[in-house]
Amino acid sequence: MDYTNRRGSLSAAPFFAPHTARLRLDPSTTARHRTSAPAKGDLMTQIYTGSCLCGTIAFEITGDVAAFFLCHCSRCRKGTGSAHAANLFAPGASVRWTQGKTELRHYQHHGSRHHRSFCATCASPMPYVGNDHIVIPAGCLDTAPDVPINAGICWSDRATWVDGIAAAPKIAGLPDA
């Protein structure tokens, strides 16, 4: 995702959305999560876990998600190999790498603020830790956050085939050979 608009200036940071959605504790996977001591007032700060495909890297994220965007820009499409990136933005959150931190790799696209973190072995997208925010690829979480998608962004740059996704037949498993 890139926060620089076409005139080269920093656009309004999309992660400062007006609402703040709290991560949800999924009772079906409670063993994977724990809840820390109560924060200020009666709010409970939740910890979410995630990992890469090969299992080398694992992490815990503590904090709130401010926004959830699907980015259709060409950089995100190339970086994910799919129609769009799916990123959660958590301005005040923190990450604890519980496993494999040394296997994290980072890519900063030249001449832009587009960046990605990923596993050196399996190339799974991993959370990117910036100076004042964390970008969490939604797919690397081990449980889905209960956060609404705010918007599909960079829609004017979408792939020509993306409009067909909703209309495509849905098959529960793999297609017949």
| CB neighbours of residue 80 within 10 Å | 17
CB of 120 to Zn ion, least distance (A): 7
CB of 42 to Zn ion, least distance (A): 37
Q: Which of the stretches 14-22, 74-82, 126-134, 158-166 binds Zn ion when contact is defined by CB under 5 A?
A: 74-82
CB of 20 to Zn ion, least distance (A): 22
The tokens of 44 are what?
Answer: 């409970």
Residues 95-124 close enough to bind Zn ion by CB under 5 A = 119, 121-122
**Closer residue to Zn ion, CB minimum distance, 46 or 128:** 128
**Counting beta carbons within 10 angstroms of the beta carbon of residue 131, is it exposed (0 to 12), middle (13 to 18) or buried (19 or more)?**
exposed
In 20-93, DSSP assigns E strands to 35-38, 44-51, 58-62, 67-71, 85-90
Which positions touch Zn ion (CB under 5 A)?
Answer: 1, 52, 54, 56, 71, 73, 76, 119, 121-122
